Structure 1
Amino acid sequence: MRDFLYYSFLLLLGFAWYRFGQKQLRKAPFDENGAPTQGLVGPVGFLMSVGVGGAIVFFILRALARGEVPCVGKGCAGQVYTLAAHASAYWANVLFLVWLALALGYALYVTLKIWFR
C-alpha cells in the first residue's frame, strides 16, 4: 500500500508540474507593464539545473550499467541498493532519479520556450 501511495504521489506531482508549465507557456509574452514573462528558472538557475540534471542522468546511467544505486534520502544515507539483493528499493530509487531528471528537463524546456518566443 505504501508503494502504491508513493507512485501515485509521484504521478500526481508530475501532472501538477506539467500543468504549471503549460500555464506558464499560455501566458502572453509580455505582462500588462510591458515586462517580458519570466521562465521557470532564471539564467543562473538554468545553468544550475543543467548541471544537476546532467549529474542525475549520469547517476541513472551508472545505476543501470552497474546494477546498483545509492539510496536517495536522509534515512538511508550511505546505503547501496543492488538489483540482485534489493530489486524493489533499487527500482524505486532509479524511478525517483528518472522522475527528477524529467522534471528538471521539463523546467528547462519551458524556460527555453519562453525565452525564445
Structure 2
Amino acid sequence: METLMAVVIGVLFACAIYMMLRRSIVKLVIGLIILSNAANLLIFTVAGMTRGAPPLIPEGLYAPSGIVADPLPQALILTAIVISFGVLAFSVVLIHRAYEVVGTDDLDQMKDTDT
C-alpha cells in the first residue's frame, strides 16, 4: 500500500510543479492546491498506515494497550488543511483583483502592462 501511495504522491507533486510552471495565474493556484494535497498525503504515508484504535489510555494504566493510531500526523494534516485553505482564499481574491485591474491572467502580459 505504501508503494502505491508513493507513486500517487510523486504523480501529484509532478502535476503540481507542471501546473505551477504554466503562464496562467489560475493554473498556478491549481498547482498550489495540488501541491498542498500531495504534502498532506506525504505526511499521512510517512507516519505509517496502520489501522488502530484511538489513542486513549484506560484508567489505571500509563500507556495505551494494543495497537493505536498516532494522533500527531492527523493533527498536522488538519492544521495544514486549514492553512492551505487560507492561502487558497487569499490567492483567489488576489487573482480576482489582478484580473480586474490588468484584464488578463497571463503572467507575461501582466508584466508588460503599465498601470
Higher relative strand content: 1
Query: What's the TM-score once normalised by structure 2's chain length?
Result: 0.36
Query: What's the TM-score once normalised by structure 1's chain length?
Result: 0.36
